[in-house]
Amino acid sequence: MELNSSSCIVLYPSPGIGHLVSMVELGKLILCHHPESFSKIIILITNAPHLDTRATAPYMSSVSATTPSITFHHLPTPPLPPNYAPSVIGLDFELIGLNNPNVRQALETISSTQFKINAFIIDFFCDAAFKVSSALGIPTYYFFTTAASNLSALLYFPTLHQKVTVNLKDYNDFVHYPGVPPIFSTDNAITVLDRSTMEYKFFMRTAVQMAKADGIIINTFHSLEPRAITALSDGLCIPDGPTPPIYCIGPLITGEQVASEEHECLVWLNSQPSKSVIYLCFGSLGVFGEEQLKEIAVGLENSKHRFLWVVKNLPSKQDIDPITMLPQGFLERTKGRGLVVKSWVPQVAVLNHNSVGGFVTHCGWNSILEGVCAGVPMIGWPLYAEQRTNRVIMVEELKVGLGVVESGGERFVSSNELEKRVRELMDSDNGKRVRNRVVELRDAAKAAMGDEDGSSRITLAKLITKWKE
Ligand code: UDP
């Protein structure tokens, strides 16, 4: 394909800030290291109020201000059927499907009036758009926002569907994916547990379609997940057909938090001793009911450790201040050694603050990567999506964290359990082992992305060459 100054790449992220950030970083990486090849990145944005954390708009403004070569193209909002109430993931898939005419129009307009589209990169949740770009003859790549281990599971999913004929939620055994530690059936991604759901069908279709793409880009790096990446590249995850080329270009984590230096939690962290604070944050959507909130507070208080705890509110209780649900006197008793923050903190800046010594995470893949890049050991407490699998990967494969043990049918974590894990991470030899390992991987992450001969930079260069052919 001939290149000129009007060549561009179009990115199509799924709604939700956790999906947007890594795609934007991919765009910035292309512009930074290959400006002679591509001077324009266009990002198609789907309006999805159900996932709006109020962090998305300021984030996009900041990107537009610092990187004008990235343009956000807002797609019209597709009308959903009335009284339609699937899960958050089901709604995502549905919205993306309804968006297809808008995506087609955007791609046609871009290529007829402005730029030649050398590659269209779609989030794996935006699978529906593959049909559109294929029909237009645009080279299409999937972008996988989570671990290579999860990609192994997803591409192997049609094979697993034939092998295990009951619902995974009732299987009660370990599932074996190429290059991945055994995953207990109910620790699999929520979307694949029940064959009767629309989410299961969407995932199956995605797995089949992805195999036909021009390539799959994963937000990971080789020395983080060598076994899964090798299994994917060796074609073990699609036993009955070819595997598309796999490109590991990570870790892609946000660099847009410089302006947040004065956030109250960073000011507070400045007054804490080095590596003394345990930071608790459960992603963009992680929330707890009153009973669990109280239990966390008791666990933190009894651990005697310093903490920074981000508390978000249940969507059904937006009018209630979650702070009022904490045990009586908790804030006074922990004053000075603990800070509770409502809503949103600049997580990357927090993790990189010298006072932070541990991270209790919901195991979102961005959060795990951010913990690794900051060299902060973790405690995994998964809540939704594929986070239970991520906990296994983090604890057993990467060995950069400990997992909480839940009790009760409702996956409750007791105050004793939280206290025990915090002490284990901060005070024990086991905690030291995890700490040393995460520092090792932090350095490997820097090398993969920072050096010209780093694995992720070499992979990106190969991809750029392919796009220029
Ligand atoms: N995040 C943040 N502040 C918060 C909560 C989340 O900056 O208070 C960021 C976090 O750094 C990460 C993203 O939001 O980049 C969440 O992505 P992740 O994959 O960890 O979880 P998700 O929210 O998608 O479940």
Residue 157 belongs to some domain of the structure: yes
pLDDT of residue 409: 66
Instruction: Please give the number of the atom of ligand 1 that sits closest to the Cα of 253.
Output: 15
Q: How far is the CA of 161 from the centre of ligand 1 (A)?
A: 31
The answer to whether residues 198 and 330 belong to one domain is: no
The two structure tokens encoding residue 260? 């947040």
Burial of 53 (0-12, 13-18, 19+ CB in 10 A): middle
pLDDT of residue 139: 97
**Is residue 369 a part of any domain in this protein?**
yes
Q: How confident is the model at residue 49 (pLDDT cuts 50, 70, 90)?
A: confident
Ligand 1 centre distance from Cα of residue 19 (Å): 9
Ligand 1 atom nearest to CA at 346: 7
Report residue 299 as tokens.
């666990």
The per-residue pLDDT for 3 is 47
- Ligand 1 site-directed mutation target among 219, 347, 384, most atoms within 8 Å of CB: 347
Q: Is the CB of 367 under 6 A from ligand 1?
A: yes
Quick: pLDDT tens for 350-403: 999 999 999 999 999 999 999 999 999 999 999 999 999 999 999 999 999 999
Question: Are 375 and 236 contained in the same domain?
Answer: no
Q: Which of 219, 365, 367, 390 to mutate to test the pocket of ligand 1 (most atoms within 8 A of CB)?
A: 367
Domain count of the chain?
2
- Tell me how far apart the alpha carbons of residues 390 and 368 are, in angstroms, rounded to a whole number: 9
Tell me if 232 sits within 8 A of 242, measured CB to CB.
no
In a domain, 428, yes or no: yes
Residue 1 lies in a domain: no
199 plus 156 within the same structural domain = yes
Q: How many CB atoms lie within 10 A of CB 207?
A: 24
Nearest CA residue ID for atom 2, ligand 1: 347
Calculate the alpha carbon distances from 64 to 146, 207, 348 in Å: 25, 33, 20
Query: 283 CB under 6 A from ligand 1?
Result: yes
Q: Is the dihedral of CA 232, 237, 243, 247 positive or negative?
A: negative
348 lines ligand 1 (CB under 6 A): yes
Q: Check which CATH number belongs to the domain holding 238 and give it.
A: 3.40.50.2000
Phi, psi of 31 (to 5 degrees): -65, -35
The encoded tokens of residue 89 equal: 């993931």
pLDDT at 136: 97
364 touches ligand 1 (CB under 6 Å)? yes
SS3 215: strand
- Compute, in angstroms, the gap from residue 4 CA to the centroid of ligand 1: 37
Is any atom of ligand 1 closer than 6 Å to the C-beta of 311?
Answer: no
pLDDT in tens, 85-102: 667 788 888 889 999 999
Domain co-membership, 46 together with 185: yes
284 and 225 in a common domain: no
| 407 inside domain | yes
Please indicate, yes or no, whether residues 327 and 232 belong to a single structural domain of this protein.
no
Give the residue, out of 284, 352, 368, 391, with the most ligand 1 atoms within 8 A of its beta carbon, to mutate for a pocket test. Answer: 284
Measured between alpha carbons, how far is 326 from 321 in angstroms, rounded to an integer? 10
Alpha-carbon span 304 to 338, nearest angstrom: 10
User: 282 near 311, Cβ under 8 Å?
Assistant: no
Question: For residue 246, which amino acid is it?
Answer: I
Shared domain for 367 and 435, answered yes or no, is: yes
| Ligand 1 centroid – CA 14 distance (Å) | 14
Separation between Cα atoms, residue 42 and residue 110, nearest integer Å: 9
Does 201 share its domain with 163?
Answer: yes
Distance CA 73, CA 118 (A): 17
Lowest mean pLDDT among 4-8, 327-331, 421-425, 427-431: 4-8
pLDDT at 261: 54
Residues 136 and 55 in one domain: yes
Give the pLDDT mean for 413-429.
98
260 lines ligand 1 (CB under 6 A): no
Query: What is the residue type of 273?
Result: P
**456 plus 442 within the same structural domain:** no
Of 164, 384, 421, the closest CA to residue 174 belongs to 164
How many A from CA of 162 to the centre of ligand 1? 35
Ligand 1 centre from 299 Cα, in Å?
A: 23
Atom nearest to 310 CA in ligand 1 = 8
* 2 in any annotated domain: no
Looking at the chain, the whole-number percentage of residues with pLDDT higher than 70 is 96
Let me know: does 420 contact 208? Beta carbons within 8 Å.
no
> In the block, which residue shows the tokens 């997992």?
403
| Cβ of 17 less than 6 Å from ligand 1 | yes
What is the mean predicted confidence (pLDDT) over 41-48?
Answer: 93
For residue 370 and ligand 1, the question of a CB distance below 6 A is answered with: yes
Q: Are 201 and 282 members of one domain?
A: no
- Is residue 14 within 6 Å of ligand 1 at its C-beta? no
Tell which one of 87, 144, 366 to mutate to probe ligand 1, the residue whose CB is within 8 A of the most ligand atoms.
366
Atom of ligand 1 nearest to the CA of 385: 25
| pLDDT at 69 (0 to 100) | 96
Whether residue 137 is contained in a domain is answered as yes
In this structure, are residues 36 and 147 in contact, taking their beta carbons and an 8 Å threshold? no
| Residue 389 covered by a domain | yes
Helix (H, G, I), strand (E, B) or coil at 42: strand
Which residue carries 């080095």 as its tokens?
Answer: 274
Q: Is the same domain home to 239 and 289?
A: no
User: Does 345 score more than 50 pLDDT?
Assistant: yes
Q: What is the pLDDT of residues 134-166, one digit of tens each?
A: 999 999 999 999 999 999 999 999 999 999 999
Ligand 1 atom index nearest CA of 368: 20
Which of 108-112, 316-320, 325-329 shows the lowest mean pLDDT across its residues?
A: 316-320
Cα(93) to ligand 1 centroid in Å equals 20
Owning domain of residue 426? 264-446
310 Cβ inside 6 Å of ligand 1: yes
> Which atom from ligand 1 is nearest to the alpha carbon of 365?
19
**Average pLDDT rounded to a whole number, residues 219-234:** 98
Angle between helices 100-109 and 88-98 (to 10 degrees): 50
Q: Confirm or reject: Cβ of 139 under 6 Å from ligand 1.
A: no
Tell me which residue of 144, 120, 140, 131 sits closest to 97, measured CA to CA.
131
